[in-house]
Amino acid sequence: MTFIDYYKVLGIGKKATASDIKSAYRKLARKHHPDLNPNDADAKRNFQQINEANEVLSDPEKRKKYDKYGKDWQHAEQYENSKQYQGQPTDSRGQKYSRTQSGGDFSDFFESMFGGSANAGRSRQVKFRGEDYNAQLQLNLSDAYETRKQTLTVNGGNIRITIPAGIENGQTIKIAGHGGPGINGGPNGDLYITFSIANHPGIKRLGNDLYIQIDLELYTAVLGGEITIDTLSGKVKLKVKPETQNGSKVKLKGKGFPVYKSDGQFGDLYITYVVKIPTSLTERQKNLFTELSKS
């Protein structure tokens, strides 16, 4: 397994605080977001690694295991169980595991456990964690706007999961214990679900902010008035200022996308007005415009 330095992925040091991790993740996730880098395989891979790094380092228990075991952190329990079973010592820091007088590191241990060795008959009695499963789940933007429950079929069985509002396109979450079965009574693996969120017609999402274009009648743009628009949260009434120019933008604070796992927090909604030029004018209407142009 190729080792991925999660600290390096997020551009932080090993003494980074939870706040540092959160800030670095948000900055990099926005930079490499698939919506901002369409058809960019490198950006997609970077985005997945950023999510993976955040998933581990933002969880104190996972981070503790990662700091101690490195790339083998997911097998920490197997290491400890095997160490107790075989009665082999570690050094004062717990950084080495020795099967013989010559010693070896964690990677050597796990390679011998999973790759086979002369002691294979003995290792078969050790409990091993099951294989992790990976799946992809497709959602519409409107589906990701609200927290919802969904039933999935995994290995012929149904599991019911809760999908938090604000889930990102390309984000991966873990469902513990729903991967492959453990060996010799070991724990099951985990299920990792990556979400693919389709764009919504007329609405663009960037992070927690939403962007839409609204057609505006010329008369309303000139004279001002009130219009009603459709948003993911329902219909919203807007007051249009007189002499609104084509391409004008307005921001509706808190009317954007919900912030992931932050109840009551939302991004903003940005609206761009596109002024429509009237067509099929009557002669009288043309004359009025002619008079207006001369005034």
Q: How far apart are CA 277 and CA 219, in angstroms?
A: 9
Phi, psi of 155 (to 5 degrees): 55, 40
Which of 31-40, 51-60, 106-115 is modeled with the greatest confidence? 51-60
Instruction: List pLDDT tens digits, range 151-191.
Output: 988 878 899 999 999 999 999 999 999 988 888 888 999 99
Is the predicted pLDDT of residue 78 greater than 80, yes or no?
A: no
Cross-strand bridge partners of residue 99: none
Q: Which residues of 196-225 are buried (b: 16+ CB within 10 A; e: fewer)?
A: ebeebeebebebbbbbbeeebeeebbeeeb
Is the torsion defined by CA of 29, 209, 253, 148 positive or negative? negative
166 alpha-carbon distance from chain centroid? 9
Helices (H) and strands (E) in the chain, counts: 10, 11
Q: Report d(CA 197, CA 167) in Å as an integer.
A: 9
CA 267 to CA 206: how far, in whole Å?
10
| pTM recorded for the entire structure | 0.57
Long-range Cβ contacts of 2-5 (<8 Å, 24+ apart)? 3/70, 3/71, 4/49, 4/52, 4/53, 4/71
Q: For residue 90, what pLDDT band results from cuts at 50, 70 and 90? A: very low
Query: Could you tell me which residue, 209 or 66, shows the higher pLDDT?
Result: 209
Q: Would you place residue 71 in the very low, low, confident or very high pLDDT band (cuts 50, 70, 90)?
A: confident
| Six token digits for residue 33 | 């977001």
- Report phi then psi at 263, rounded to 5: -55, 135
Place of tokens 């409107």: 142
* Euclidean distance between CA atoms 51 and 260, whole angstroms: 13
Residue tagged 């991790």 (tokens): 21
Measured in degrees and rounded to the nearest 5, phi and psi for residue 168 equal -90, 155
| Cα(98)–Cα(102) distance, integer angstroms | 7
Query: What does the pLDDT read at residue 87?
Result: 45
Taking the C-alpha atoms of residue 245 and residue 255, their distance in angstroms, rounded to an integer, is 23
pLDDT digits (tens, 9 = 90+) for 239-258: 999 999 999 999 999 999 99
Q: For residues 258 and 99, what is the distance between their CA atoms, to the nearest angstrom?
A: 52
What interhelical angle do 60-69 and 76-86 show, nearest 10? 60
Average the pLDDT over each of 10-14, 80-84, 116-120, 143-147 and give the range with the smallest value: 116-120
Digit-coded pLDDT (tens) for 202-235: 899 999 999 999 999 999 999 999 999 999 989 9
* Mean pLDDT of the residues in the chain: 83
